[in-house]
Amino acid sequence: MIKNWCLTLVLFSILTMGCAASGPSESASQEQWIQLFDGVSLNGWTPKIRGYAYGENAFDTFQIRDGAISVSYEGYDTFDERFGHLFYASPFSYYKMAVEYRFTGEQVPGGPGWAFRNSGIMIHSPPGETMLIDQDFPISIEVQLLGGNGVDERTNANLCTPGTNVVMSGELVTNHCINSTSKTYHGDDWVRAEIIVLGDSIISHLLEGVVVLEYNNPQIGGGSVDAFDPEIKIDGLPLTGGYISLQSESHPIEFRKVELLNLKGCMDPKATNFKSYYVSDDPSSCIFEE
């Protein structure tokens, strides 16, 4: 784990990426964002909906519409606690991620009141196939996405912790959800939310480029998750990386962009694939000219 006194400097360098050219060469500092969503298909993504097997897209919940991943409830008579998650194929540990999303339409009948204009980005999760049939949420860290009702204040990019805990200000936090410092996002406008993840060190939530919540030492523990495999939920186990998923929680939502900048890779300047912005070294990935 990176020493705490270094984390602020590392985070600052990530936040200011692209502000000025730096590093040994222009190519080494050029950011290579991975488009996790190709804009036309669900390639690379697999659904897991409560009550159904991993890979079964029950009621055509996850669709592609007008260049966006659409969470649709047109096939539902009632929600019936069928919480869903759309898992990306590859795990990550050190990265910066961004999604552009908007809530649309009306909540499906039977959806819980707290799930009005509510969705999330789940990170540091075990593989989706480890979720049992009736499990409601993956054991993970949730970057909670919330929309306002047009009247009341409601912070966005909050933290929720299904089967997990985190540390804030040196103290273990066992509350299920913690509010950010963000403003309320009313209406159907597109919103860009970002996450900076440094393994099991700092995790930061950003809106409009501003950090609205920060914590560290994510780990398995606590409740707020049902019907899980006890062999997966090992309380106290540090969460150093894992899988990413997008949530379906009973309110329609669209994701038009899901992109990721990997911060783990070859840190040897002699390698052809060296990047000056990497913060975690993966020597096995280095490529050298012969």
Between 154 and 19, the more confident residue is 154
What gap in Å lies between CA 102 and CA 70, rounded to an integer? 10
| pLDDT of 255 strictly over 80 | yes
What gap in Å lies between CA 269 and CA 123, rounded to an integer? 30
The CA–CA distances, whole Å, from 200 to 11, 53, 197 equal: 14, 30, 8
Between 21 and 175, the more confident residue is 175
- N-terminal to C-terminal alpha carbon distance within the chain: 33
**pLDDT at site 18:** 54
What gap in Å lies between CA 194 and CA 99, rounded to an integer? 7
pLDDT digits (tens, 9 = 90+) for 191-245: 999 999 999 999 999 999 999 999 999 999 999 999 999 999 999 999 999 999 9
In this structure, the dihedral spanned by the alpha carbons of residues 34, 205, 148 and 100, taken in order and rounded to 10 degrees, is: -10
| Band of pLDDT at residue 26, cut at 50, 70 and 90 | confident
| Band of pLDDT at residue 113, cut at 50, 70 and 90 | very high
Reference 78, options 104, 107, 102, 43; nearest CA is 107
Mean pLDDT calculated for residue range 17-29: 63
What gap in Å lies between CA 182 and CA 233, rounded to an integer? 31
| Band of pLDDT at residue 174, cut at 50, 70 and 90 | very high
| pLDDT of 7 strictly over 80 | no
What gap in Å lies between CA 53 and CA 90, rounded to an integer? 19
pLDDT digits (tens, 9 = 90+) for 262-290: 999 999 999 999 999 999 999 999 999 98
pLDDT digits (tens, 9 = 90+) for 55-102: 999 999 999 999 999 999 999 999 999 999 999 999 999 999 999 999
CB neighbours (10 Å) of residue 41?
A: 10
| pLDDT of 152 strictly over 50 | yes
CB 191 within 8 A of CB 100: yes
| pLDDT of 6 strictly over 60 | no
| Band of pLDDT at residue 1, cut at 50, 70 and 90 | very low
CB 195 within 8 A of CB 143: yes
**pLDDT at site 217:** 98
**pLDDT at site 59:** 98
For strands 264-265 and 280-281, give the pairing.
Answer: parallel
Fold of 30-285: Jelly Rolls (2.60.120)
Mean pLDDT calculated for residue range 124-130: 98
